[in-house]
Amino acid sequence: MSLCSISQSSRVPNSTFFAKFFLDKVTAPAFAPIPAPITSWIGIDGVALVIGAGQGIGKTTALSFASAGASAIVLSGRTVLTLTQTAKEIKQLNLPRPVETLVVTADITNEEQVKNLFAIAQRKFGRIDYVANTAGLLGHAPGPIADLDIQKIKDQLATNAVGFLIVLRVAIKFLLLQEPHSVPGISSLSHPPVRGSIVMLGSAATHQTIPQAAGYTMGKYAALGMMKTAALDYARQGIRINEVAPGWTMTPGVTSGENNMEGVADMVAGTTPIGRWATPEEAADVVVFMSSPRASYAIGESWVVGGGVSVKPTWIQ
């Protein structure tokens, strides 16, 4: 992710600009490098907790947080092996400062495990500034609603609806206990500090109609509704809650197993206005932006990263 690095402290009043410029010309060699500020333009400098960080959009979200300037990242999911690989890739990034990582396994359908995840993160780092819940379950091959396996639908709802509710409840309780976080060079009257940000990964399926995907769509509509309600409930308590809703994204969860559906690639290319799948990075970067103080006035929003699917004219075939 390419981010411009301009700190508030580097700005000088107009009346002193030319004096400073000419003084620098005398005392410094031409094209002298400008020291990088501690905080990048986007203002990510705290602790991120990413759920679903072992693969797909969750993994790229963790990498994007690291590139944006997070000081530490808690990597959570069900599988230690994939989470450890994400931590390894973060350490391999060529960053101005090292990013500390912590791997904690948790199943979001288990409230005690989620509570333990947040407690471990809080004990280790003192606070949690950005929560990104990217976990999800696609769940079954497409089919009309009357033919779907009811148990598979229940499994989807356990993760995509109840699991999201559990994460949201636990995250809010932890964020309420901490003081607002000020970002040097950004936090001010124009970007007031907050206790923390929560971004949930939804789906463009809640902004358009996808046939033969009832179980998945139900769970994502439930998550969208609870996100909006929670955002209103806690907007004045210093917690920002939003959603990023990706469209068709090329991730292992979509392209493997029974979800590797014949003809889907051609369908996506033909019906998506941009004419291609999204990359995981394109969704992850929006998650990080919505977590940052640059999105300080965004409350209860669902940002569709769908290549134009939510605005496609009905006559496009």
Separation CA 55–CA 58 (nearest Å) = 6
Of 25, 59, 173, 216, catalytic: 216
DSSP state for residue 95 in the 8-state scheme: -
Host H or E run for residue 51: strand 47-51
Is 88 an active-site residue? no
HSE-up (13 A, CA, CB side) for residue 166 = 22
Q: For Cα atoms 200, 81, 203, give the angle at the middle one, nearest 5 degrees.
A: 20
C-alpha distances out from residue 24 to 3, 18, 46, 215, Å: 26, 10, 33, 63
Of 220, 221, 228, 312, catalytic: 220
How many other C-beta atoms lie within 10 A of the C-beta of residue 149? 13
User: Cα-Cα-Cα-Cα dihedral of 110, 113, 118, 123, to 10°?
Assistant: 170
Bridge-based pairing of strands 130-133 and 302-305 is: unpaired
Q: Cα-flanking dihedrals φ and ψ of residue 141, to 5°?
A: -70, 155
Is 59 an active-site residue? no
Report residue 68 as tokens.
């944006």
Residues known to be catalytic: 216, 220
